[in-house]
Amino acid sequence: MKPMGLYIHIPFCNGKCPYCDFYSVTPQCDTVEKYVNALCREIDKADGIYDTVYFGGGTPSLIGADNIAKIMSHILRTENCEVTLECNPSDTGAINSDFDFNKAAQSGINRISMGLQSALNSERAMLGRRGGCEDVERAVSRARNAGIDNISLDLMLGIPGQTAESLKESIRFCKEMKAKHISAYILKIEEGTPFYAKKDILCLPDEDETCDLYLTADKELEKAGYRQYEISNFSYEGFESRHNLKYWRCEEYLGIGASAHSFADGKRFCYERNIDDFINGIPPRNDGEGGEEEEYIMLALRLTEGLIFENFKNRFSHSVPESIIIKANGLKKYGLVNVDEKSISLTVKGFLVSNSVITALL
């Protein structure tokens, strides 16, 4: 049996951030217990072996280390499995926090992803983030004291009131925290969120300013020793997110939990965004074919390594269409892509307009 990735969605959140459109609900004691039991049931049914595991949310740390350990006891893992737990530092870093990082580490958690978003408390408050940077510091320290040194911090670009200098301060904070990995996402105003309802009055950077912030992040993170390996992701050498690389390389993964998506045997399927349906055993719906040529190319071009011709040929038994290479050479003169005999990849400038570049190529 070939190992695959496992994504576990924990949909519980104490409060929804105004920009978030992920599926989440307020935790109730009996619901949490039923949901954890349902997760264990579905993991047992899948009967797989996994080389990456990712607890996403929501706020996975909210269910506590005991429940994390219970779920982990049902997961058959390879020896070097990467196991990531998303944490909210305002919960795990609060002075009175009862989250047990030692128990989490003993259960197999070896990577932590925390939602910093900004190192400026004023910007964090604007984003609806509870707590301050002191909570982030405590959470990072507690994870490290438990032996979990692989820490990823999230940054958000293009947020209300953000400047190049405030962004640099956030990057300096990440460096001081000795984070091994940084995810730097441009804020996207999603329909149905509180930010969407007041998008016309938010003090957001304009498109040019947002582009400048992205370029600033790229430059400052590189100076701080972080290598960009994907449009929004940077890491020290060897600390790339192995689980997320599965998504971008069209490798197989199983998603378990309300709203979780999967890709296996050339098919995509997902559970409904309904916690009761999941608890009651409603199976995931079929979302159609996946991993076809166009999707593979689109995802590969998110990576700095780009579309590697040899990998494409090994997967599809023929070369990358010549028409795509011709189009890529046409975009090369604008500084949007790199093209050589081995690959096509987007430049940093190309990443800023990646949707347009990929559309033009395909």
User: Is 61 within 8 Å of 113 (Cβ atoms)?
Assistant: no
- The per-residue b/e assignment along 21-49, b for 16 or more CB within 10 angstroms, e otherwise, is eebbbebeeebbebbbebbbebbeebebe
pLDDT tens profile 96-143: 888 999 999 999 999 999 989 888 888 777 776 776 788 999 999 999
Least confident of 191-195, 214-218, 334-338: 191-195
Check which CATH number belongs to the domain holding 232 and give it.
3.20.20.70
Model confidence, pTM? 0.94
DSSP 241: -
Q: Is 253 part of a structural domain of the chain?
A: no
pLDDT at 256 > cutoff 70: yes
Does residue 68 sit in the same domain as residue 207? yes
Distance CA 296, CA 135 (A): 40
Helix then strand count (H, E) for the chain reads 16, 15
Residue with tokens 């449009």: 231
The predicted structure's pLDDT at residue 196? 66
Tell me how many domains the chain contains: 2
Greater model confidence, 124 or 350:
350
Q: Is the pLDDT of residue 68 over 80?
A: yes
How much is the pLDDT for 190?
74
Q: Select from 248, 266, 298 the last residue of a domain.
A: 248
Q: What is the pLDDT of residue 18?
A: 64
Residue 19 sits in the same domain as residue 149? yes
Backbone angles phi, psi at 36, to 5 degrees: -60, -40
> pLDDT, tens digit, for every residue of 16-48?
666 666 667 787 879 999 999 999 999 999 999
Over 80: is that where the pLDDT of 193 sits? no
Domain that residue 173 falls in: 4-248
Is 69 a domain residue? Answer: yes
Residue 306, strand partner residues: none
Q: What is the pLDDT of residue 16?
A: 65
User: For the domain that residue 343 is a member of, what is the CATH number?
Assistant: 1.10.10.920
The mean pLDDT value for 220-229 works out to 96
Cα separation, 294 vs 292, in Å, equals 6
Are residue 195 and residue 47 in the same domain, yes or no? yes
Mean pLDDT of the chain: 92
